[in-house]
Structure 1
Amino acid sequence: MTGVTDAGELPLSVWATAQTSPAAQRKGRYVTDSTAHPAKMLPAVAAHAIRQYTRPGEVVFDPMAGSGTTLVEAIDAGRRAVGVEYEPHWVSVARANLELARERGHDHDGEIVHGDARQLPFLLPERYRGQVALVVTSPPYGPSTHGQVVTAGTDSPDGKVHKYHHRYGSALDRGNLANVGHHRLLAGFTRILTGCAAVLRPGGHVAITVRPWREHSELIDLPSQIIACGQAAGLVPVERCVALLARVADRELVARGSFFQRDFIRKQREQGLPLHLISHEDVVVLAKPLVPRSTSLPASPDDGQVASRGGVEGSGRWQA
């Protein structure tokens, strides 16, 4: 397989993934505890990627599975699914969502493993090596979390706006990639993608949802940086798509911005920065070359983090 290394030359397609609201996409299909996750992927985004890049019966993997959106959409589509999640609470929620999917009659294989995705060689059983058709995931990044809100005049005891469910775990947990600096996030994500390359079959795809964000008014082009992470892991960029977060109507897009996104835009405009509400996410699509490359994992994490070797029985160390 050959690919285009210049992100500006990559093929582009637009995914209409917000024709229904996020709440409507999840209603009756996910347990209520899923709502508390600070940065849930739209189910329609995961479902589109799964339909586009896999066939029924193939394996879909999410190394940062969160509440299990990718896994649920995979088994609902007749695929097999496996995920890794760092926070124990979200492992439990993901398992509950998988069980709910089974109760709806979707009995395809689906499992979630607790552990640090930077240590994939110690987490997944050997049977997954070279068998995954598609990886779907999203790194934690920037201030663009979602969460919930208590607004003035409703349940707020002091008449003010209060945010909740808008942070990942404990802010003191430096093992969580959501709590490390930008450069360490990129180093950790490169390591995760290197592990993903080992479980991917030749020609398999990786779809990563990501968006640019601002830090101290400076635009961070995270999608291009994620492409570079993938190339460092031995993957080839093949597409850069647009997953809409707004509904397509007659000759216009109807925004579905969260309270936090609208609040962030308002504050930035008050400070003189003319930002606009985000109406899409980038979807970076990479592929594993058909010809094997030498991309073995380093002996120790290159981002300075040391993780436990938790996982499931039968796992061993393997390399790409």
Structure 2
Amino acid sequence: MAEVTTSVWATGQQPSRVQRRGRYVPESMRHPGKMLPSIAARVIETYTGPGELVVDPMCGIGTTLVEAAHLGRHAAGVEYEERWARLAVANLGHARKQGAPGFGRVMAGDSRHIARLLPDLAGRAALVLTSPPYGAATHGHIRSTRDTGEPGVRKWNQRYSHDRANLAHQQLPHLLEGFGRILAGCVELLRPGGVAAITVRPYRVRGELVDLPGHVHRLAEEAGLVFVDRIVCLLCGLGEGRLLNRASFFQLHEARKAWARGTPIHALAHEDLIVFRRLRMAAEADPGHALEGVRELE
């Protein structure tokens, strides 16, 4: 297993659409909050070895699972929305056609009950890698007046779901309560010494900064995980002597509104990767081979 040697990862050298082109089925672009493939791949390569098990309790279109499969790891994911779960299966099938040696498994269900959904994987995961939802206000595709020449803003693919029970629709207190339950369940899936890595960034609501990384850090420790590292994953590109801006419309819009009010804030150019471990307990037995019970879905 590789060791972390830097606190900043250059994961934004290519735009997200370029990272996904050809590696994921085209329909994947419909999901409003996809994890950056370069972040998923770097985390998996850093914290796991070939043949080990990676779990994503909120797998969306399956970015974590696909990158794990390409790296020779095996993966299991849970997704609340069946349409995204089907896309995750399609992306895993696409990865297999491209020669990915790892296998993946996807289940449509509520990951607040993940330990009950995946009981055969208890104590077997080397890595849990996921990201919480941010809600419809910060995701989706945008065409502004500058792009179209027409007045107003056109927005599409901005919703995870129309199901109000989906965490993406919840206000912050309920979102955090649900995500805390997910992390507690994931602890049961991790092997002793296993890693939980969460990609998360702060966001603004009506100009106010929401410290989602800080909230997630607290939830992970309340679930019994031990903090071990915090890494900056760049969303911007590193050019020759300059940064290549890849900030989203939403980030730029909030920054411009704040400047107009006289508050000089800047668009975020990174995502926090917060890394935790499950403590090793002397009395815990070897969990066995992670591959058992993990099979590719057709």
Please say whether Structure 1 and Structure 2 have the same fold, judged by a TM-score greater than 0.5.
Answer: yes
Q: Which moved more, 1:201-210 or 1:243-252?
A: 243-252
Contact 2:7 2:231 (8 Å CA) reproduced: yes
Which letter does structure 1 place at the counterpart of 2:200?
A: V
- In 1, Cα distance between the equivalents of 2:232 and 2:80? 28
Query: What residue in structure 2 maps to residue 20 of structure 1?
Result: 14
Match of 2:133 among 140, 156, 159: 140
Contact 2:115 2:186 (8 Å CA) reproduced: no
Q: Which moved more, 1:134-143 or 1:190-199?
A: 134-143
Query: What residue in structure 2 maps to residue 177 of structure 1?
Result: 167
Contact 1:144 1:261 (8 Å CA) reproduced: no
Q: What is the aligned residue count?
A: 280
1:84-119 deviations in Å (ceiling 9; x for gaps): 000111011111100100110114210110001001
How far does residue 143 in structure 1 lie from its aligned partner after superposition? Answer: 6.2
**SS in structure 1 opposite 2:161?**
coil
1:164-187 deviations in Å (ceiling 9; x for gaps): 0112211xx332111111111111
Match of 1:228 among 199, 218, 221: 218
Regions of 4+ moved over 4 Å: 151-156
How far does residue 264 in structure 1 lie from its aligned partner after superposition? Answer: 2.9
Which letter does structure 2 place at the counterpart of 1:239?
A: D
1:22-73 deviations in Å (ceiling 9; x for gaps): 1111010001111111111110000000010000000001000011100000
Match of 1:48 among 26, 42, 52: 42
Query: What residue in structure 2 maps to residue 265 of structure 1?
Result: 255
- In 2, Cα distance between the equivalents of 1:213 and 1:188? 19
How far does residue 144 in structure 1 lie from its aligned partner after superposition? Answer: 6.0
Name stretches of at least 5 consecutive residues in structure 2 with no aligned partner. Answer: 284-292, 294-298
- In 2, Cα distance between the equivalents of 1:194 and 1:249? 41
How far does residue 159 in structure 1 lie from its aligned partner after superposition? Answer: 4.9
Q: Which moved more, 1:236-245 or 1:212-221?
A: 212-221
RMSD over aligned Cα atoms: 2.1
Which letter does structure 2 place at the counterpart of 1:163?
A: K
Question: What fraction of aligned residue pairs are identical, expressed as a percent?
Answer: 48
Contact 2:226 2:279 (8 Å CA) reproduced: yes
Query: What residue in structure 2 maps to residue 36 of structure 1?
Result: 30
How far does residue 153 in structure 1 lie from its aligned partner after superposition? Answer: 8.0
Name stretches of at least 5 consecutive residues in structure 1 with no aligned partner. Answer: 1-10, 294-313, 315-320
Matches within 5 A, 1:4-15: 13-15=7-9
- In 2, Cα distance between the equivalents of 1:149 and 1:222? 24
Contact 1:255 1:279 (8 Å CA) reproduced: yes
Does residue 64 in structure 1 map to residue 58 in structure 2? Answer: yes
Query: What residue in structure 2 maps to residue 112 of structure 1?
Result: 106
- In 2, Cα distance between the equivalents of 1:192 and 1:174? 18
The two structures have a TM-score, normalised by structure 1, of: 0.82
Which letter does structure 2 place at the counterpart of 1:87?
A: E
Query: What residue in structure 2 maps to residue 274 of structure 1?
Result: 264
Contact 1:12 1:240 (8 Å CA) reproduced: no
Query: What residue in structure 1 maps to residue 232 of structure 2?
Result: 242
**SS in structure 2 opposite 1:251?**
coil
Contact 2:192 2:278 (8 Å CA) reproduced: yes
How far does residue 215 in structure 1 lie from its aligned partner after superposition? Answer: 3.0
Query: What residue in structure 2 maps to residue 161 of structure 1?
Result: 153
Query: What residue in structure 2 maps to residue 189 of structure 1?
Result: 179
Query: What residue in structure 2 maps to residue 252 of structure 1?
Result: 242
Which letter does structure 1 place at the counterpart of 2:161?
A: G
Contact 2:136 2:158 (8 Å CA) reproduced: no
